[in-house]
Structure formats: structure tokens, C-alpha cells
Amino acid sequence: MASEQSSGQTDVELVDETDHHKPVSRFTRWYRSPLFNVILVGLISFTQPGIWNALNSTGAGGQQEPYLVNGANSLTFGIMVFGCLIFAVLANKFGLKQTLIIGTLGYAPYSAALYTNNRYGTEWFVLFGGATCGIAASALWASEGAIALGYADISDRGKFTGIWLGLRELGQLIGASIQLSLNVKDGARGKVSYTTYLVLIALQCLGLPLALMISNPEKVIRSDGRKLPDPTKNKAILGEARRLWALVKTKQMYLLIPVLIGFNWNSTYIGIYQTKYFSVRARTLGSLSSGIVATLANIFWGWFYDLKIFNRPTVAKITWGVLSLLMLAVLSWQISNEHLYANASPPVTLDWDLPGFGRGFASVVLLRFFNESHYMFVYWIVGTFFDDIETLTLAVGLIRSFESIGSCLSYGVGAAKVKGMVNLILAFVMFFITIPSTTLAVLLVPERPISNKQTTADDGSEEIGTDVDRSESIGKAVPTTES
């Protein structure tokens, strides 16, 4: 390969001079393209966390009581706190594709555990499934997020993030449709039919063969013919761990920590809210509607982030201003809903045949829309900060690790059988305190991301290095044929 450039080298690797005459077929260019690979990771996400979301969007994994499932989810995210960091380092050492394959192996056991608990009352398997899901999710999120962001050029990262997360919601849409068809006649409170789980487990088993089709970074060919470097070259685990520590100390990352921990705290409350007040078919309708609005959020923000009308700093400010104000409004409205339903006599069962259903149901849909918008915002904003795939892999691991801290704590509170109002107020407070630091992070968004290549300090330690504008790099195109 051509020798590496000096400190100004970016994530573009020049094609070997001996390769310039080798034709690359149209099929190969498509198969190795960033778009095809992001579609693959989106489909993998559909079969894994997408199905997981479909189950959890019915409230407590479809169970009658939320406490065991909240405990298992707390275990899942507890493992992810450390697992996402570990797998981010390992992905840079052993490869994104290998890490992604591991990420497809642990979700199905969790769904199988929900099935055995629903049908036979087995409880230990749910906790075991929560552990396998935590390990798999750590590997999956550390790798697929890096692929979705790192394979794309900065001008396409909004669109590619939308495709990735939008296809993930396809899992919830299909899963929820199946659930609704199987439970449409159940207008009482209770648990979802166990037949639901069998179909969803079968879908989750498709993740592994899809992961085997992913291209390694060095084989990806962008539309202009540029290739990515192999991020595993000359990597040491200890060195990557030092780079991870250096990255978390940058202003761009540590200012995002509060929003990563605090934004999604309301997800646990939504599960408790649905199991406490909604009929089975209303819960499955909620799952379907949540998938629809999340998909709309991905489409809208993916389009908005790549608009040429505004520069990227302006887009970031507009997005965060809208999200923060509307989220505060929806949470405030939900506090009034919770107060109304908690003090109702006789106890409330919200079903689409009964009056007042729209008010209680709308808040579930709105919260799901803003939660998905938050995911889009966080991954997009990190993509505006950093450019090279090695740094993005570590950054995605940090994102998921800190998000898992918040989820672990929130599901832990949910498993402790605290009142719904207490959980909701905690969600409101947690979001409110994220606003100042996230605002400061938004003010740091540049027009072009920096390339943070690994440098060596005088003491021999590795740290995040010089800021280099990616636009200065020039790569050689891969010639094509029209075959």
C-alpha cells in the first residue's frame, strides 16, 4: 500500500499503485459500498435490538408484571456499561465484522427466556437471557454504529444514520404487527400471547447470516473510489484503551455524558405506565405506533441533518433547541396524566374502545418519537466531531456505555416497585439537568469533523492527536468497468 501520510493523514487510504489497472465490477462496487453495508447493519439491527424493542414496547416484554423483566433489563445494561468499552477496543484490534458477528448471538436467548417465563413461569432463564443479551448488545452497538458512521462520508452521515436506525425500527413494526394480530381481541389487562415470541425468535436468528455479509473497512469502496484503511493494523489492546481514555477526556465527549445517561430514563417509566393502565391489545398497538413514529423520526432527522440550507453548527442548535423544549413539555403533560390515572376510582384500563384512550395513548407515542430523535441527534453530533473510523468506533463504545449506565439505573429503579409518579419525576429531573452541558456540546459542533489520528506523547503514551481538516486529503479513485 502507499505509505501513510504524515500527521495530516485522514481516514482515506490511497489505493496501491499496482491496483490502478485492475477493473472493479459494478456488482463489487455496490456490494462493497457504504450504502449496502449500512443497509446490512440496519437489517441486523432490525433482527436484534429491533425485535427487543418490539417486545419491550408492549410494556415489560409483554409480561403481566414489569418487575422481573425490568430486573433482567437492568442486568443487560449493567453488563453493557463495561462491555461496550471492551468491545470498542477489541473491534479496533480484531475487526468490526468479527465483533458484529458476536453481537448477533445473544438476543435470541433472551426472547426465548421471555417465552418460557410467559408459558411456564420460569424466572432464572430471564436473568440468564438478560446476561447474554448484555454481552451481545455490547458487541453489536460498538460495531454497527461505527460502520454506519465511519463508512459514510460526512455529507451522508445524517442519511446513513437514518437508514441504520430506521431499519432497526422495521423490527418493531413487523414484531408489533404480529403481536397485534395475535392479541387484537384481548381488551383486558394481562400478558401477551406466548405464540408471539416464537415468531420473533425466528426473526432474530437471521442476524448471524446477515453479519457474515458485512465488508471489512479496508474492502469498502466509496462512491468516488476512495478506500478506508484497515483499522486493525498495528493495534495493541493497551494502546487502544489509552486512546479510549484520552477520548473521554475531550470536551466533545465529556459534555455529552449527562444527556447520554439522563435522556432515556423515561423508557422504563413507559413500560410501567403501559402495564399498569393499558389493555393487552392497546399495548401491542402502542408498540406498533411507537415503531411508526420512530421510523418517521429517523426519516425526518436524516433528511434535516444533511440539508444544505443551514451549516452544521446551525443545524445542531436548531435540533437541540426543539428537542429540549418539546421534551420538557411532553414530560410535564405526562405528569398530569399519571396523576389523573393513579388516583382514578375504579382503576383505569385504557383500551381503544373506551373514552379517554387518546389522551393516555398520545403521550406514549410522543415520548417514543423524542427518544428516537435523541438517538439520531447523539450519533449525528458525534459524527460531526470525529472523522476517522478508529476514533468513531471508540466514540460509539463510549456513547453506549454511558447510555447503559442510565438504562441500568432506570431499570433498577423500575424493578424496585417504586410508584409510577416517582419514576416519572425522576425521568423529568434527569432530563432537565442534561440541558446545560448538552447546550455547551452543541456550541462546539464544527462545519467539518476533525481527524483524530493516534499520536505518541513524549512519555510513550498514546493520546488523541492533532486536529486535521479531512477536506485537505486526496485519495485515488478505484477504476471501474460497466460489467
393 within 8 A of 231, measured Cβ to Cβ: yes
Q: How far apart are CA 388 and CA 411, in angstroms?
A: 34
450: helix, coil or strand?
A: strand
C-alpha cell read off for 430 = 434527569
Q: How far apart are CA 427 and CA 273, in angstroms?
A: 13
pLDDT in tens, 416-463: 777 888 889 999 999 999 999 999 999 999 887 765 544 333 333 444
Considering only CA atoms, which of 185, 226, 84 is closest in space to residue 143? 84
Counted residue by residue, the chain has a size of 483
Residue 292 burial by CB count (10 A; 0-12/13-18/19+): exposed, middle or buried? middle
- Structural domains of the chain ordered from first start: 17-472 (1.20.1250.20)
pLDDT in tens, 77-89: 889 989 999 998 8
Neighbours of 420 (CB within 10 A): 18
Across the range 390-399, mean pLDDT stands at 88
Considering only CA atoms, which of 231, 253, 197 is closest in space to residue 382? 253
Higher pLDDT, 195 or 87: 87
What does pTM read for this prediction? Answer: 0.73
Across the range 259-276, mean pLDDT stands at 85
Higher pLDDT, 247 or 235: 247
